[in-house]
Structure 1
Amino acid sequence: MTTTEGGSPDAPTESDESAADAADESEAVEARYAVILDHLPHGRADDDRPRHRKSPLAYALGERDFRLFELTLSDDADISIGDRVVIGPTEARDVVSGFKQVDYDDLSNNANAELEYAVEEIIDANEQRFVDFYNDAQPITLRLHQLNLLPGIGKKLRNNILDQRKRGPFESFEDLEDRVSGLHNPREVLTERIMEELRDDDLKYKTFVGREQ
């Protein structure tokens, strides 16, 4: 699964760039960021072209929807693993000249090793957004709730969460742990679920990866 080089990560189709440009003309578009997982200053090792013909690349994780990207970088890009870079809109980019969406299996070994750390950092930097998942999660079917997709959350724990949030929204991960008996490390539970969605492209239900947050 790939996007057109230079396209928008919101909608991976061939018309990404023109759609993004049209949106930019009609309204201000919020910058979108990705976290660098690996930097390949001389391109991929399996690219047989001469070095001078290869652009520097990076693998990155989108902050908003956890999509995985291979970024084409400008020749003078000065980046490191863990850095945040702008991937959209086009005119807001600095070091990124293009990108394509990739799958988990396309990542380099270094990118794979950094992935879980990057997920944790995104959750930590946007705690309220992820606490609100516990506040806002809804039924998927008559028998399945979004909360049940999280590792270790069965019917009893799900009902505990639902009962507590009726009394008032959760304000932090600490608040969640204090108020919901049996819910330990709600942050780590989310990390585990996001990693599962990244690794398994065939999951029937995806709550975080590839969806607008």
Structure 2
Amino acid sequence: MGELEKNRSKKKYEEYAYVLDYLPYGRADDRRPIYQRKPIVQAVGEEFFTLLELTPKRNVNLSPHERVYIGKGERAKIDHVERRISYEELTSVAKSELPAVIEKIVEENEKKFVDFFNNAQPISTRLHQLKLIPGIGSKTMWNILEEREKKPFEDFKDLAERGKLHEPKKAVVSRIISELKGEDKYRLFTRPPTPEPSERQYQKKPAKGISG
């Protein structure tokens, strides 16, 4: 297990999320009268890229790309985490904002993702974690493995130059989006939309965060 996966497994809850779409009158397919609807926020978690539906507090304004606290402490703008959602449940606006938001998260946590390349391990005798990253074939994989033995990669630029991986940041973003769409059974950076049974107790409780 790579260092990134170890760090992710130690932390159970999302602490922060980025707003993808704010629906002040709820979902468009909600047939109830407007006065009965409640506002909804669609967001993506900062740590596990969990897709979430949040309920905001009264009289707050939220914008796409805004970072909001959703952890166990006092929240300024979010009342509670409603539930996890799948990629298919995202609005068209949320889907369009997702790539830019994920890229922002990856940029601001560059070392964590570079460490993945420094610590990635074989999944089986035939498949290595590195080969799950778009643009990495056998030749590039072996080059990365050889170069990291000489010296761990320091940043994406170093990874591109010594590892010979073209635009590593975009490759990571592409992989994350692919996982969120459910296009691959292996998950390197994300968690599935449905929580484990033991995690369900934390949903819809104002004082609790969402399980990663």
TM-score range, shorter chain: 0.7 to 0.9
TM-score (norm 1): 0.80
Pairing 1:101–2:75 present: no
1:45 corresponds to which residue?
A: 28
Cα distance in 2 for residues equivalent to 1:138 and 1:92: 39
Pairing 1:162–2:151 present: no
1:172 corresponds to which residue?
A: 155
Cα pair distance change 1:31/1:150, threshold 3 Å? closer
Pairing 1:196–2:178 present: yes
Question: Which of 45, 57, 62 matches 2:40?
Answer: 57
TM-score (norm 2): 0.81
Pairing 1:134–2:117 present: yes
Alpha-carbon shift at residue 127 of structure 1 (Å): 0.7
Aligned residues: 184
Structure 1: tracts of 5 or more residues without a match:
1-9, 12-28
Using the TM superposition, name which of 102-111 and 151-160 deviates more: 151-160
Alpha-carbon shift at residue 122 of structure 1 (Å): 0.4
Cα distance in 1 for residues equivalent to 2:22 and 2:189: 25
Question: Which of 59, 84, 87 matches 2:67?
Answer: 84
Question: Which of 128, 134, 142 matches 1:145?
Answer: 128
Maintained 8 Å contact 1:40/1:58 = yes
Maintained 8 Å contact 2:19/2:66 = yes
Q: SS where residue 36 of structure 1 aligns?
A: strand
Match of 1:95, as an amino acid? K
2:169 corresponds to which residue?
A: 187
| Structure with the larger RCO, 1 or 2 (CA within 8 Å, 6+ apart) | 2
Q: SS where residue 88 of structure 1 aligns?
A: coil
% same residue: 42
CA RMSD of aligned residues (A): 2.2
Using the TM superposition, name which of 71-80 and 139-148 deviates more: 71-80
**Alpha-carbon displacement from aligned partner over 1:114-152 (angstroms, at most 9, x marks no partner):** 011111000011111111111111110011110000112
**Alpha-carbon displacement from aligned partner over 1:177-199 (angstroms, at most 9, x marks no partner):** 12123x11010110111111111
Cα distance in 2 for residues equivalent to 1:166 and 1:206: 25
Cα distance in 1 for residues equivalent to 2:149 and 2:187: 25
Structure 2: tracts of 5 or more residues without a match:
1-7, 193-210
Q: SS where residue 92 of structure 1 aligns?
A: coil
